[in-house]
Amino acid sequence: MVAVGQLVFAPLGGVGEIGMNLAIYGLGDERRRTWLVVDVGTSFAQEEQMPGIDLMFPDIGFLIEERRNIAGIVLTHAHEDHYGAMLDLWPRLRVPVFATPFTAAMLEAKRNGEPGASDVPVKVVPPGARFAVGPFDVELVSVAHSIPESNALILRTPHGNVLHTGDWKLDPNPVIGPPTDEAKLRALGAEGCLAMIGDSTNAVRDGRSPSESDVARSLAELIATAPGRVAVTTFASNVARIRAVADAARACDREVVLVGRAMERVVQVARETGHLEDVQDFRSQEAYGYLPPDKVLALCTGSQGEPRAALARIAQDEHPEVTLSRGDRVIFSSRPIPGNEKAIGRVINGLIDQGIEVITDRTHLVHVSGHPRRAEMEDLIGWVKPGLIVPVHGEALHLAEHAALARRLGYPTLSCRNGDLVLLAPGKPSVIDKIPAGRLYKDGRILVAGDSRTIADRRRLSFSGIVVVAIALTGKGDVAAEPQVELIGVPEREPGGRAIADIAHEAAIDTLENLPRARRRDPDSAAEAVRRAGGLSRGGPA
């Protein structure tokens, strides 16, 4: 192959933030590049920062314009921060999608759970496969993580090979699926690796993360010694953890009852794709009440304190079938995602108040992260020996720690942020351009741009309240009725004791009386004048 043009990389999400990963690779030159998209992820919005917003997506305006030049999308794994925006964004791109069986089945199950979501055709490729996506020669590398079928990608191009690590860790016994494919990664090192685009999530942590099998042992002990009922909550997508809990329950003769739709969905997909093959059948929720307390285990959604999820409803004694009482044991086989601590605290306190024992990862090895700590990162870098390390998948601190570790090992690094177009080859790697990047917010069923008025207005409303002045004007500009004033979240009286509604009313009348008729005939102009008089922010003319 003759190397023509350039090999470039750009993150459109996930760099400088946790969540909504979307990376693009380009082959060609500035006049025309062919793109490979890796992952189309989402982020959950923090309620207090984004009132009324459920989800955030990377802004893909650039990709929509470049649609005809996109060879395809490869999904590394089925975590929401990597594939969660597919149902909403793919219809705007309609390009080929590649994923392994579990990821494809998860996407299909998700689509079935969202009425009206469009069908996303996926070309299913087996783990470890090598296939062409336009000019990109893509090879999957199985990696251990916290969901089945996680993949790193080797991209072979005329300019050299790139390793896109995706989310990974080293775990000699991951309970489900093979360990990270060390042989393939070492072979890549021998073949030559131009650049590694790598997961930075746990770069602040020394040493190695414990194995999923260590967690399984600890869970088995805690489940075997529980005096009454046991409930375990974990991330629904962590099939290895579900398996560990199922094995532990079987070892002490407890039946497993799944509680929560997400848990049921993942278990069904995992069974269909062969990841829970020798695991016993689970019992229905109706069976829960009939089983003796020491013969049942509830595996629940709600590890993040989500108020509508199974565990919160059980803690509030609002679940129709599943109840817990004094002396029962609840295990949080999870870690709080930053921002969820308060919600989780509410659930835990609710349980403890009922005399239920709560076990978390603060005191027991009941959870491990799916991301590599420093010693694991050192191993990978030693196998692959990349010519350049580009830290991604993390906040600024994680990225900086990843880069510092790489430099200590003697490897060059390049720092970039969402929207930076990075030249990987030929020549010295550097940021050569900016491409539009930003956020989209999902507001109910509507997508709005991150810089739109809606979000800013709602955030302001959550601090400052509103005064609504309704004015009726005739077509000729005459006042048709008394202005109506309504206060929402505003004190009734100003410090001097005057009613704020009266002040707004007077301001509206004075303004209208002094406004030339020509301006009164224009609803926009009249509304703006009244707003200024009241020091209010502008609504729509009614």
Task: Give residues in contact with Zn ion (CB under 5 A).
Answer: 79, 81, 167
With vertex at residue 59, the alpha carbon angle to CA 74 and CA 85, rounded to the nearest 5 degrees, is 45
Residue number with CB closer to Zn ion (86 or 230): 86
Residue number with CB closer to Zn ion (14 or 350): 14
Minimum CB distance to Zn ion smaller for 99 or for 485: 99
Q: Among residues 6 and 303, whose Cβ is nearest to Zn ion? A: 303
Smallest distance, Zn ion to C-beta of residue 244, A: 18
- Asked if 526 contacts 516 with a C-beta cutoff of 8 angstroms, the reply is no
Euclidean distance between CA atoms 433 and 431, whole angstroms:
6
CB of 393 to Zn ion, least distance (A): 6
Q: Compare residues 79 and 374 and give the one whose CB is closer to Zn ion.
A: 79
Give the shortest CB-361-to-Zn ion separation in angstroms.
Answer: 18
Nearest approach, Cβ of residue 177 and Zn ion (Å) = 13
State which residue, 73 or 526, has the beta carbon closest to Zn ion: 73
Is the alpha carbon torsion for 108, 112, 113, 116 positive or negative? positive
Q: Minimum distance from CB of 108 to Zn ion (Å)?
A: 19
Which run of H or E residues covers position 402?
helix 396-408
> CB count, 10 Å around CB of 273?
19
Strand 160-164 and strand 150-157: the pairing is antiparallel
Neighbour tally for 103: CB within 10 Å: 31
Closer residue to Zn ion, CB minimum distance, 170 or 297 = 170
- Nearer CB in complex with Zn ion: 160/370: 370
Residue 419 is classified by DSSP as: T
Q: Is 135 exposed, middle or buried (0-12, 13-18, 19+ CB in 10 A)?
A: middle
Phi, psi (rounded to 5 degrees) for 458 = -65, -40
241 contact partners, CB below 8 Å, separation of at least 6: 146, 175, 212, 215, 234, 235, 333
Rounded to the nearest whole angstrom, what is the least distance from the CB of residue 180 to Zn ion in the complex?
Answer: 14
Asked if residue 228 lies in contact with residue 270, where contact means CB atoms within 8 angstroms, the answer is: no
DSSP conformational letter for 120:
-
Q: CA 253: distance to chain centroid?
A: 36
Alpha-carbon gap, residue 128 to 368, rounded angstroms? 25
Nearer to Zn ion, 260 or 394 (CB): 394
Please tell me whether the peptide bond between 91 and the residue prior to it is cis, using omega within 30 degrees of 0. no
The pair of structure tokens assigned to 275 is 């990841």
How far apart CA 19 and CA 51 sit, in angstroms, is 19
Q: Tell the smallest beta-carbon distance from residue 462 to Zn ion (Å).
A: 29
If the CB atoms of residues 80 and 457 are measured against Zn ion, the closer one turns out to be 80
Instruction: For the CB of residue 413, give the shortest distance to Zn ion in the complex, in Å.
Output: 20
> Please, what is the minimum distance in Å from the beta carbon of residue 260 to Zn ion?
20
Nearer to Zn ion, 38 or 162 (CB): 38
Distance CA 125, CA 318 (A): 43
> Which residues have C-beta within 8 Å of that of residue 531, sequence separation ≥ 6?
537, 538
* Token pair listed for 237: 């997508």
User: Would you say 6 or 238 has its CB closer to Zn ion?
Assistant: 238
| Cβ closest to Zn ion, residue 166 vs residue 350 | 166
Smallest distance from the beta carbon of 79 to Zn ion, in angstroms? 4
Least Å distance, CB 151 to Zn ion, is 11
* Smallest separation, CB 249 to Zn ion (Å): 26
Interhelix angle 261-272/239-251, rounded to 10 degrees, is 90
Angle between helix 396-408 and helix 374-384 axes, rounded to 10 deg: 50
User: For residue 225, how many other CB atoms are within 10 A of its CB?
Assistant: 10
Q: What does the alpha-carbon distance between residue 456 and residue 442 come to, in Å, rounded to a whole number? A: 14
Query: What is the C-alpha to C-alpha distance for residues 455 and 393, in angstroms, rounded to an integer?
Result: 25
Distance separating alpha carbons of residues 406 and 400, to the nearest angstrom: 10
Residue 427: CB minimum distance to Zn ion, A: 31
What SS3 class is residue 465? Answer: coil
